[in-house]
Amino acid sequence: MKLGAVIITMGNRPDELRALLDSVAAQDGDRIEVVVVGNGAPVPDLPPGVRTVELPENLGIPGGRNIGIEAFGPSGAEVDALLFLDDDGLLPDRGTAELCRRAFEADPGLGILTFRITDPDTGTTQRRHVPRLRAADPLRSSRVTTFLGGANAVRTKVLAEVGPLPEEFFYAHEETDLAWRALDAGWMIDYRADLVLHHPTTAPSRHAVYHRMVARNRVWLARRNLPAPLIPLYLGVWLLLTLVRRPSPPALKAWFGGFREGWSTPCGPRRPMKWRTVWRLTRLGRPPVI
């Protein structure tokens, strides 16, 4: 299989970006074609052979990644699968790309691989980086219902069939939107503990827009993808979980503002998943009400 890689950058981590590119270039097997997208920022000096795209404005994470996909032709058609990697990540193992190739070749129904993210200093994996409810053992591989945005590989046939990431989301939940569409089309998603990306431990709330966009996009995700009877169940569960977590008053105010915005603004095309997909999600351990 021919692999490509899409990396978006704000231009503020040139040393980390260079280290990531070196780790991609060091992968065993055929050369991986790489495109770096400057998302509203100039791209720093890069090694020869790396494609670059500089955008005049920040299109958000899904928008920037979609531009990177199209740099490989319509829906990334020049390659068989694309790696999506955070610009401050690193592939510590030279055999990661070969493992991806073998996994896709062995299972024609496998659409997406999601990697295990570990802190380079401590070796720990944050619970939120294990994309399933039973996340206590990050070393256990399994079939899952979503994937990690900055540490994954997607078969380009999936993108051609179900479409790109939802640019409207800008930040948060765009991976689950694509995952649900892929699962509804019959593709499967695997969390592979042996595919490792080093990434410093961070908190998602470090982003100023985190609480508003998480809430807004959660509503959009439900409105776009869920059968009508499940929308109030799904959003009601997440409302309760948010209150149980007792966020700070400013965070809660931003969350409710985003929740209202999710109902009052366009969410993009609505394509509710089939009920048999709801059952598949349930059998995989995560029914789409939580």
As beta bridge partners, residue 143 has 190
pLDDT tens digits for 224-247? 999 999 999 999 999 999 999 999
Q: Closest Cα partner for 181 from 165, 159, 154, 162?
A: 162
pLDDT at 69: 98
Average pLDDT, the chain: 96
Per-residue model confidence (pLDDT) at position 277: 98
At 209, the pLDDT band (50, 70, 90 cuts) reads confident
For position 203, what pLDDT does the model report? Answer: 75
Write out pLDDT tens, residues 128-170: 999 999 999 999 999 999 999 999 999 999 999 999 999 999 9
Average pLDDT over residues 245-262: 94
Going by pLDDT thresholds of 50, 70 and 90, the confidence category of residue 207 is: low
Average pLDDT value for residue range 63-79:
98
* Cα distance between residue 57 and residue 60, in whole Å: 9
* Contact (Cβ atoms closer than 8 angstroms) between residue 231 and residue 191: no
pLDDT value of residue 71: 98
Residue with tokens 């080093």: 198
| Structure confidence at residue 206 as a pLDDT band (50, 70, 90) | low
pLDDT confidence tier of residue 202, bands split at 50, 70 and 90: confident
Q: In what order do the strands lie in the sheet with 142-144?
A: 51-54, 33-38, 3-9, 81-85, 151-155, 110-118, 188-198, 142-144
Give yes or no for residue 205 having a pLDDT over 60: no
Please give the pLDDT value at position 274: 98
Determine the average pLDDT of the residues in 33-57. Answer: 96
> At a CB cut-off of 8 Å and minimum separation 6, what does 247 contact?
211, 255
Residue 103, C-beta contacts closer than 8 angstroms, at least 6 positions apart: 110, 113, 190, 192
Residue 117: per-residue pLDDT: 98
Q: Return the structure tokens found at 87.
A: 């610009």
Taking the model in full, what pTM does it have?
0.96
